[in-house]
Amino acid sequence: MKKWAILLVVTMMATLVLSACSGGSSDTKNESQSGTADQEKVQLKFTVWGDVASAGPEVKLTEEFNKSHPNIEVKFEPVPGDGYGTKLTTSLAAGQAPDVFLIGEGDYYKYVDKGVVEPLDSYLEADKSFDTAMFQKDLLDMGHINGKTYYLPKDFNPLSLWYNKKLFDAAGMEYPNENWTWDDLNAAAKKLTLKDDKGKITQFGFNATKWEYPIFTYLWSNGTAISNEDGTKAEGFMNSDKTIAAMEKYVAMSKGADKVSPTPQDAETLGGDGSMFMTDKLAMMVTGRWVKYDLDRSKVDYGTSLIPKGADGERGGIIAAAGWAINANSKHKQEAYELVKWLSGKEAQVLRSEKGLVLPATVNELEEVKKTEVKDKPIIDMMAFAKKPVTMVSSNGSVFVEEFNKAMEKILLDQSSVKDALNEAAKTVDSKITK
């Protein structure tokens, strides 16, 4: 009995000691968990292209997000525009990409096709506090591929026709209007192209840029395109009789006997179309609303109009848009979703559109812009004519654009005729995408 008594006492003491130790450990653990909660917030990164030195809206949005989300700490890592796509692609392949990133309409389909973008549908369905009806429907639809939503809109910029009123007034000409065709534009551009005594052009009527987006609107207006509807074939489209005829007229604006446009090399030498426009050396250009901020700060008196129609009355528009996407390999997708909502929200839309560089992607905020920005009305109206570029309908879109641009280079450098260059480009595209 004595031995059993001793064993019982020892057992009880051991139990008490273990209990005490256990209790101490519990307290310590709770303290540790509390400390960890404070110290180990969910860390998120997000990126955009643009001026890395600029304290743009995203900097302020980051600060406000971190203040209002104590369990999440967001780090903003912008990338210069020229290197954005390369860096994002590389970091995605290496598994080191930010949790949230911006995708432009040109690269959107490609990233979704590679499976690196997280579908948002399950997050949106579970979140009753967030209603996507606040966005412009067309912009939201741009984020849909194969029935799924892959991004929430950041902002948008329809292309439109911008004209220099001073140059039109000096020539005694009426401003462009919604009834203009491309032939009307060309005729006006001839009158607005001026030369000095030595025959040197001192003022161009229009800028027939080599940038594919204005060219796409021109081709659509003329009833043609560089690909079939689903972006799976170039032969018979990029080199169709309609495309060749339209492109011959387009290129003639900068290289023909009745030259009314600078060549791309001329425009670059003269500081670009925006600079030429503001210094009264260019009367018309097709571009996005991002030029508005600089135009408003300059003394140039300008107006905007719908992009002209083709001979058959068809009009083509295109929207430069971007949206926030979640990295499919993010370790914190729910928190990343909260960030995407924040970056797409109403406050963010207002903040970004304050300087007039972009238009808000949300319905109510765009209505407010319409009330005050009279000059913007034709720009906004171009939304009704917007079509998706080939890069938004096919993962092969970049192949079409790359080969089309190569063809344009050969044409503009007098290395090939329009017909030969487009025939070669169409053949190359089809051979690449059918491998």
Q: How far apart are the C-alpha atoms of 195 and 127, rounded to whole Å? A: 62
Distance (Å, whole) CA 330 – CA 127: 19
How many other CB atoms are found less than 10 A from the CB of residue 31?
Answer: 10
Can you tell me the distance from the alpha carbon of 172 to that of 194, in angstroms, rounded to the nearest whole number?
Answer: 14
For the stretch 377-408, pLDDT in tens is 899 899 899 998 999 888 899 999 999 999 99
Angle at the Cα of 410 (from 230 to 85), degrees rounded to 5? 55
Q: How confident is the model at residue 278 (pLDDT cuts 50, 70, 90)?
A: very high
For 63-110, write each residue's pLDDT tens digit: 999 999 999 999 999 988 778 888 999 999 999 999 999 998 878 888
For the stretch 122-150, pLDDT in tens is: 999 999 999 999 999 888 988 888 899 99
Q: Give the DSSP letter of residue 210.
A: -
Q: What is the pTM of this model?
A: 0.83
